[in-house]
């Protein structure tokens, strides 16, 4: 059986995981990943093959969580060192840089925001592999 390949990216207040070989996994494996994500109040985005969980977590802690779950996966860490000066001019995170906002809010912006900073949102989504 093929092992899921997780690429872990640490964000400021959360983490995201890109599943490199999602299309090759069995239904049971995908269901186990969905259960893992939902029990941690995370979001699984099938369009981007990514899940996010709103918890500040280091890579070794993530590895430990995976080992204690029913998921047998190969994991690697992706380090992101991109800075942007663009700041959000509205809403809950007004005044914060786009690279500081939680993944869940960035995904909300992806689905709902069509303003002048849309390009910045798209760049941040790509940076985080969301």
**Helix, strand, coil % over all residues of the chain, rounded to 5:** 35, 20, 45
One domain, residues 10 and 67: yes
Residue 12 reports pLDDT greater than 80: no
What is the per-residue pLDDT for 118?
84
Distance CA 70, CA 9 (A): 21
Q: 101 in a domain, yes or no?
A: yes
pLDDT at 80: 65
Identify whether residues 40 and 70 lie together within a single domain: yes
Instruction: Band the pLDDT of 99: cuts 50, 70, 90.
Output: confident
Residue 84's pLDDT is 63
The helix/strand/coil state of 91 is coil
Q: How many CA atoms lie within 13 A of 97 on its CB side?
A: 11
Do residues 36 and 69 touch, judged by C-beta distance below 8 A?
yes
pLDDT, residue 13, reads: 73
Do residues 24 and 86 share a domain?
no
Other Cβ atoms less than 10 A from the Cβ of 89: the count is 10
Q: What is the mean pLDDT of the chain?
A: 89
The whole-number average pLDDT for the span 67-90 is 83
């Amino acid at each position: 059986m093929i092992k899921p390949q997780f690429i872990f990216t640490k964000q400021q207040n959360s983490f995201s995981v890109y599943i490199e070989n999602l299309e090759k996994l069995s239904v049971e494996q995908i269901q186990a990943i969905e259960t893992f994500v939902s029990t941690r109040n995370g979001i699984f985005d099938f369009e981007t093959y990514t899940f996010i969980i709103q918890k500040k977590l280091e890579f070794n802690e993530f590895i430990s969580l995976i080992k204690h779950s029913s998921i047998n996966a190969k994991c690697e860490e992706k380090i992101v060192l991109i800075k942007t000066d663009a700041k959000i001019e509205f809403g809950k995170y007004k005044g914060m840089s786009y690279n500081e906002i939680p993944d869940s809010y960035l995904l909300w912006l992806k689905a709902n925001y069509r303003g002048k900073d849309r390009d910045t949102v798209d760049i941040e989504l790509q940076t985080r592999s969301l």
